Amino acid sequence: MAKVILFLVAASVIVAVAWLLAGIPGQVVASIGPVTIEASTPVAILALAVLVAAILVLLRLLRGLWNLPRIGAVWLRRHRTEAGERAVTRVLVALAAGEQGPARKQARQARKLLGESPQTLLLAAEAGRLAGREDEAEEAFRALTKQADASFLGFRGLLRQAVDRKDWTEALILAKQAETAHPGTAWLRQQRAELALQTDNWAEALELTGPDPKRPAYYVAAADAEPDPARALAFAKQAWKQAPGFVPAVLAYATRLRAAGSEKRAQACVLDAWKHSPHPDLAAFALAPLTDPLARAQAAKRLAAANPANPESRILLARTALDAGLTGEARHQLDAAGADGIRQRRLSLILAEIEEQERGDTEAGRLAQHKALRQAAAADPDPHWQCTSCHAGVSAWQPKCPSCGNAGTIQWQSDRRPSGLSVAAA
């Protein structure tokens, strides 16, 4: 209805204007050289209006022709952008589906259409990694590092590649560059902590790692690697305070106390640990200052008194008694351990030595030794240090497994089953 009213109003205005123009009297004469044009005033006004309209149309046409290249460029750019965005979508779909060939092809297409944008470079790098073309990925990541807003993405990708090929030197350099590009990220802090562990930089690993049950192992390793005795003692003390029953921590602290002249405190640490977690290495440390066999046997009794029923106490007393020539006491301790259900190989080997000392090179002695050795072959395995990650056994505790490279995974395995189980640290 409103449109009808508007049309009627416009038509009325046009009719009124035409009627007014038609009523204007007079003639208009125009001479151009020998040509004279004469028309009534209304016709002249109408001709002038048509001429102005024609000029405006011509000017608009000329302007359109002038802007035609720019309009074509805008249209082409819009077309390339839309095609590039479709290629980006296809790259994402191919990456999600694990389709290596289509991902690389569409990534190249997106990069060609959209240029060296952070999105296209990152997609090209991930497509290259999916296809196993680390050279393509590295080229794209390095191009990313040159873009101010996206340099962290490039350094992050290059860092992942360096870690995958175990190039720790390059990884450390890239980690520092990534930290400069985007400081304070949680992912980078964790990655730097892993690098510190891989490069045995235990002090930095402690600074970068938060609460972790493996921290006592890191403190022990930091103490062993620290050339300054005072700092080494501080690291060892932290290890002992956090895990007073962890044998490597106890020995790290006690060893440095002994080196500093605090033998009494060192022995007290070992004695306290023996109450809860007896271990052969603790006994070796406690008896190390003594060379006389009888003195060692007496010291062993004082240590074992802190936890007399433990198998380690029985075996320690048997070993030191045998070394002192007290075969009766040694046999008594082995019998007590056997009565407690202990069937470890080392008990049978000590029994073989007892038989040799008591019976000598006699027929009865040889038979008794042979019997003890047969028992050793069928006995339960002795407790040993073992990696809880790859289950590889090691002769002595180390902060990092020599087989799988994991840090803080070597623990004392005392279960009768030979492998495959998690054990508590002693």
pLDDT tens figures, 130-153: 888 899 888 999 999 998 888 999
Is residue 282 within 8 Å of 255, Cβ to Cβ? no
Tell me the pLDDT of the chain averaged across its residues: 85
Share of the chain above pLDDT 90, in %: 40
The number of residues making up the chain comes to: 426
Superfamily of 212-381 according to CATH: Tetratricopeptide repeat domain (1.25.40.10)
Is residue 332 within 8 Å of 354, Cβ to Cβ? no
Domain map (residue ranges) of the chain: 80-203, 212-381, 382-426
80-203 matches 212-381 in fold? yes
**Which residue from 161, 163, 166, 189 is spatially nearest to 176, judged by alpha carbons?**
189
pTM assigned to the model: 0.71
Superfamily of 80-203 according to CATH: Tetratricopeptide repeat domain (1.25.40.10)
- Render pLDDT for 302-336 as a digit per residue (tens, 0 to 9): 999 999 989 999 999 999 999 999 989 999 998 99
Is residue 355 within 8 Å of 348, Cβ to Cβ? no
Is residue 138 within 8 Å of 161, Cβ to Cβ? yes
Rounded Cα distance between 147 and 144, Å, is: 5
Q: Give the DSSP per-residue string, 200-242.
A: T-HHHHHHH--S-TTHHHHHHHHHHH--SHHHHHHHHHHHHHH
For each of the chain's 426 residues, which pLDDT tens digit applies? 777 777 677 667 665 666 665 666 666 666 676 766 666 666 667 666 777 777 888 778 777 778 767 766 666 678 777 877 888 888 888 888 888 888 888 888 888 888 888 888 888 888 888 888 899 888 999 999 998 888 999 999 999 999 888 898 899 999 999 989 988 888 888 899 889 988 899 999 999 888 888 999 999 999 999 999 999 999 999 999 999 999 999 999 999 999 999 999 999 999 999 999 999 999 999 999 999 999 999 999 999 999 998 999 999 999 999 999 998 999 999 899 888 888 889 888 888 888 888 787 788 778 878 887 888 888 888 899 999 999 999 999 999 999 988 999 999 987 654 433 332 332
Q: Is 419 helix (H, G, I), strand (E, B) or coil?
A: coil
